[in-house]
Structure 1
């Protein structure tokens, strides 16, 4: 199921940003020379599909990938316009860094970046933690969105090399 977010209602969370900064965590737009590092990091923790979507997000102008970093180490990422224009995601946080608010900060900052690009709404495709998105940014289910733009997605297992 997809969710809809009214970007004009999303507000920054200065307290969360300050708490992360106090821990040395910075949320910022990724830089082009970081692409290979980010792709490898995502591939080792999440999925090949997310690597592909992130690469597309990097091709946007400006780049549509935000990252959470502490002391040169990647802790999380969030993209938009990867699978389709106006879509938030993929997004993920390293297991060891969960519970610090990084996911929430990445979500809010990425949605604000989308609003700055001129979007009025964002879709969150195949939303996993629906309650989190609803509570954090007022996301609501989009009726009839089962499968979303991902309907008919190629199955990588059916395309694995054979010996």
Structure 2
């Protein structure tokens, strides 16, 4: 399943022996035939992410072109770990997902999987390992603090907590006001129009992607291109802002507005348009991932800070 360099170690020939590994637990590289089992492991272990946990496996298995990554699984299919190397900084490796079936815990599988992932990262030239998201294709910003066993494992292996991130939750119930008509009319008076980019407007989407690359980065552009929906605001041929949802199942983001659009209320309209799409798709809530401005999302959509993630790192010696 992974895109492995020729020098990648074959973890399937012997018990995991990396730092912190558990003797006797065999870890091997996952293959296409393991896809269904990996999804089942995720569904059983990642209860805070139900029902989309299996989709995290699918997402991490289809990362951006050029990403070096691997999926490793215990021989008894009790646990799985995904690891990747940052394209922005090849010295940094990421442990993207770690999941062990509830009935298979407390036997060293988590330690063995992390050890095998670290061995793979070392072979790929990484000098540091992080329990932190590797944008643009990631499961979480870090370890959800409610997955306490994972945080405890990271700390017991010498990882240091170096940052914190959070997600907000926006209710998409019928009583949540996601109206935009009045704002759209006001923007139209200022010469600003709002559009949905997608299959029916590929030219518009390409223009939005160019706008994102100019003002932000390729990571956000990749997320917008792989999103379930994308909306943008324009004044003539000038793009003023965009918002996307669904690049990570059930999540909103990314979004951004150009300096020329600040104060116009463009962000509020684009956010609400995306959330309305998510509601129409049957979602009861939307997660706003890796949030910066709490106040904006709280005021624009009644969102509340709810998921907290600890980001961990340690040197690979």
Deviation at 1:15, TM superposition (A): 2.5
- In structure 2, distance between residues paired with 1:10 and 1:85: 23
CA RMSD of aligned residues (A): 1.8
Q: Which residue of 2 aligns with 1:70?
A: 235
- In structure 2, distance between residues paired with 1:128 and 1:14: 26
Deviation at 1:70, TM superposition (A): 1.8
Q: Which residue of 2 aligns with 1:155?
A: none
Q: Which of 23, 32, 40 is matched with 2:190 structurally?
A: 23
Deviation at 1:13, TM superposition (A): 3.5
- In structure 2, distance between residues paired with 1:40 and 1:93: 14
Deviation at 1:141, TM superposition (A): 1.1
Counterpart check, 1:12 vs 2:179 = yes
Structure with max Cα Rg: 2
- In structure 2, distance between residues paired with 1:97 and 1:13: 17
Unaligned runs of 5+ in 1: 153-163
Higher relative contact order by CA 8 Å / sep ≥ 6: 1 or 2? Answer: 1
- Indicate the structure with greater helix content: 1
Q: Which residue of 2 aligns with 1:37?
A: 207
Q: Which residue of 1 aligns with 2:17?
A: none
Distance 1:24 1:146, change over 3 A: farther
Give the length in aligned residue pairs: 143
- In structure 2, distance between residues paired with 1:65 and 1:13: 16
- In structure 2, distance between residues paired with 1:33 and 1:146: 39
Deviation at 1:80, TM superposition (A): 0.2
Q: Which residue of 2 aligns with 1:160?
A: none
CA deviation profile, 1:92-134 (whole Å, cap 9, x unmatched)? 1111121100011111111111111211110000111101111
Contact 1:10–1:111 at 8 Å: present in 2 too?
Answer: no
Distance 1:39 1:140, change over 3 A: same
Contact 2:231–2:274 at 8 Å: present in 1 too?
Answer: yes
Deviant stretches of 4+, over 4 Å: none
Unaligned runs of 5+ in 2: 1-165
Contact 2:178–2:273 at 8 Å: present in 1 too?
Answer: no
1:76-115 maps to which residues of 2 (within 5 A)?
76-82=241-247, 84-115=248-279
TM-score, reference length from structure 2: 0.43
- Indicate the structure with greater strand content: 2
Distance 1:40 1:16, change over 3 A: same
- In structure 2, distance between residues paired with 1:20 and 1:4: 27
CA deviation profile, 1:66-92 (whole Å, cap 9, x unmatched)? 11112132111100001x111111101
Contact 2:178–2:275 at 8 Å: present in 1 too?
Answer: no
